[in-house]
Chain A
Amino acid sequence: MDMSKDLVAASATPLVLAILAEGDSYGYAIIKRVAELSGGRLQWTDGMLYPVLHRLERQGHVAAKWSSAENGRRRKYYRITKEGREHLAAQRQQWQVVDGTLRGIWMKACMA
């Protein structure tokens, strides 16, 4: 599905935080998880995830650590912080309001 850029950008933060709330992860695995959760309907441009992660790191919502994987290469793992969880909870409430409102109006449209 072709989603509007703004919507993708706005939903990226809660999505990434929610995925990290399930457990520590790294970029590629997060992208895969997004595809999996959305049944492939939510497609991100892969690279764009990283600026989002770095911004979250800078804001203190996630913490990052390089750890070496097999054959000498390193991988950057991300972990959600306490502030990140609080931010996620706040975002969740906001999205629920939006979701509930839209649902309400579309239900009415269905009945009419």
Chain B
Amino acid sequence: MTTFTDQPLEEQIAQWRAYVRRRQALNRPDVEELEGHLRDQLAALIETGLAADEAFLVAVKRMGNLDALSREFALAHSERLWKQLVLTPDDADKPAKTTRAETIVVLILAVAAALAFKTPAVFGDRLDGEEMFYARNASMFVMPLLALYFLWKRGSGVVSGLWLALPFVVGAIFANIFPFRKGSDTEMLMVLHLPIALWLAVGFAYVRNRWFADGGRMNFVRFSGELFIYYVLIALGGGVFTGFTLIMFKAIGMKVEWLAQDWLVPCGAMGAVIIASWLVEAKQSVIENMAPVLTRLFTPLFTVLLLVFLATMAWTGRPINVQREVLIAFDLLLVLVVGLVLYAASARDPQAPPDFFDGLQLLLVISALAADGMALAAIAARISEFGFTPNRVAALGENLILLVNLAWSAWLYARFLLRRGSFAALERWQVAYLPVYSVWAAVVVVLFPPVFGYR
């Protein structure tokens, strides 16, 4: 690595560096590495007798086309692509048309999702237990359309589209063939688990055929997090809109509750999924991602909460009071911690060395494991008393799945902090684990109702 005494050459290098730095797919250390290479090359070329400016031309030429290079960098580091969306010159010449076409497609799909929700009413108004019918099929109205949007957007072929239709068809069949009794637990479990199972199919549509390729799954995780946040924001706006609708018509003495209940809220809720997805896709370049920011904010708070909780339990000797909701509460706690780990990983540069925040994450994971371990011990001690109900088996299964994830994450975090392993290993573990959630959800949907006699 050489510094040159030749002043004009140093200036040329500085110009080149400034030019390369404008590429968003390359971060500072990358540029430094490339500059080191350029300098080595220059030194070697000058040694062979080239003049400084000639050497510079040759070295820059050998470095290669910067557009192609930053595309390669973007592929190798897809988290940067996500954050700052480098639109590759491949499709730079037709942006206006695609944007308009996309807006139209999105609007059509959103309206379709809203109408899909109203179609069953046209055919079977007198269905018994109508609410549960809608609850069971909630994901059927919008998720296939969302998958369709991604199929269209990624230009996937008809064949892969048909393959992706398969899980939805299977899901629709299972959602409607079981003879559930009124107020059945397994039915409620299906309502909760079917969307989780089918979300994997949306994921396949999202990543197209890059499920195992660099960062494909992590991008889907990022997408899911941002979608959730956008959806909540849109829902807040929708609530205000509905409120105004009610108040204004009330002012002229009309009751329009039916409008809000039957049309605005359900149709809005369906259409908003498509609109929010489109916003995430379109705006990922414009604003900083929110999910990682929230993660940074809440990781310390939850760590403190858990530590204080554990300390209080140790200090006062109060046992966990095993009631119905305890297992669910601890399930939710683990979901939250897995979410915090996942979104912290999604925003992290995997090549950066361990820092304070990574230590905090490990502390969070370990304290969550400890708290959950206590809860499980308390529940196990009384499991015979409870018997196995569908709710309890589902909750226990989920607890186990999350526990395995977190235990192994803690191990990988510890190795990373001790500099025995890389952060990439943790990221790989997290994304490799994603299908497990959906597979378990599918088990709950498909096997639980018959096994537990539809109760």
Residues of chain A touching chain B, judged by Cβ–Cβ distance below 8 Å, are 26-28, 31, 45-48, 50-52, 54-55, 57-60, 63-64, 66, 69-71, 73-76
A48 contacts which of B2, B32, B72, B424 (Cβ < 8 Å)? B72
**Range for the number of chain B residues in contact with chain A:** 20 to 34
- Pick out which of these stretches binds chain A: B36-44, B278-286, B430-438: B36-44
- The answer to whether B33 touches A71 (Cβ under 8 A) is no
- The answer to whether A50 touches B30 (Cβ under 8 A) is yes
- The answer to whether A48 touches B33 (Cβ under 8 A) is no
- The answer to whether A60 touches B424 (Cβ under 8 A) is yes
Q: Is B1 an interface residue (CB 8 A)?
A: yes
Residues on the B chain within 8 Å of A52, using CB: 76
- The answer to whether A50 touches B75 (Cβ under 8 A) is no
Bound form: Cα–Cα A70–B77 in Å? 30
- The answer to whether A69 touches B1 (Cβ under 8 A) is yes
- The answer to whether B214 touches A45 (Cβ under 8 A) is no
Q: Is B63 an interface residue (CB 8 A)?
A: yes
- Could you tell me the dominant secondary structure of chain B's interface residues? helix
Residues on the A chain within 8 Å of B62, using CB: 45-46
CB distance from B350 to the nearest CB of A (A): 6
Give the residue name and chain of the A residue nearest to B65 (CB). Answer: A45
Give the residue name and chain of the B residue nearest to A9 (CB). Answer: B72
- The answer to whether B64 touches A45 (Cβ under 8 A) is yes
CB distance from A50 to the nearest CB of B (A): 6
Bound form: Cα–Cα A50–B428 in Å? 21
Contact with A along B343-366 (1 / 0, CB 8 A): 000000011000000000000000
- The answer to whether A76 touches B29 (Cβ under 8 A) is yes
- The answer to whether A27 touches B351 (Cβ under 8 A) is no
Bound form: Cα–Cα A58–B79 in Å? 12
Most chain B Cβ neighbours within 10 Å, of A31, A46, A74: A46
Q: Which residues of chain B in 35-86 are interfacial with respect to chain A, using CB atoms and an 8 Å cutoff?
A: 36-37, 39-41, 62-66, 68-69, 72-73, 75-77
- The answer to whether B32 touches A74 (Cβ under 8 A) is yes
Residues on the A chain within 8 Å of B425, using CB: 60
A27 contacts which of B36, B73, B76, B424 (Cβ < 8 Å)? B36
- The answer to whether A57 touches B1 (Cβ under 8 A) is no
- The answer to whether A51 touches B72 (Cβ under 8 A) is yes
Asked whether A46 and B3 contact (CB < 8 A) given A27-B33, A60-B425, A64-B351, the answer is no
Residues on the A chain within 8 Å of B351, using CB: 54, 57-58, 64
- The answer to whether B422 touches A46 (Cβ under 8 A) is no
Asked whether A54 and B76 contact (CB < 8 A) given A47-B63, A60-B425, the answer is yes
Asked whether A58 and B424 contact (CB < 8 A) given A28-B37, A47-B64, A51-B69, the answer is yes
CB distance from B81 to the nearest CB of A (A): 12
Most chain A Cβ neighbours within 10 Å, of B62, B350, B422: B422
Bound form: Cα–Cα A31–B424 in Å? 26
Residues on the B chain within 8 Å of A54, using CB: 30, 73, 76-77, 351
Bound form: Cα–Cα A28–B134 in Å? 62
Residues on the B chain within 8 Å of A48, using CB: 64, 68-69, 72
Bound form: Cα–Cα A75–B2 in Å? 11
Q: Is B307 an interface residue (CB 8 A)?
A: no
11 other contacts beyond A46-B41, A48-B64, A58-B76, with CB at 8 A cut-off?
A: A45-B68, A46-B62, A47-B34, A50-B37, A50-B73, A51-B76, A57-B351, A57-B422, A60-B428, A63-B422, A73-B36
- The answer to whether A71 touches B3 (Cβ under 8 A) is yes
CB distance from A58 to the nearest CB of B (A): 5
- The answer to whether B350 touches A58 (Cβ under 8 A) is yes
Bound form: Cα–Cα A58–B424 in Å? 6
- The answer to whether B40 touches A28 (Cβ under 8 A) is yes
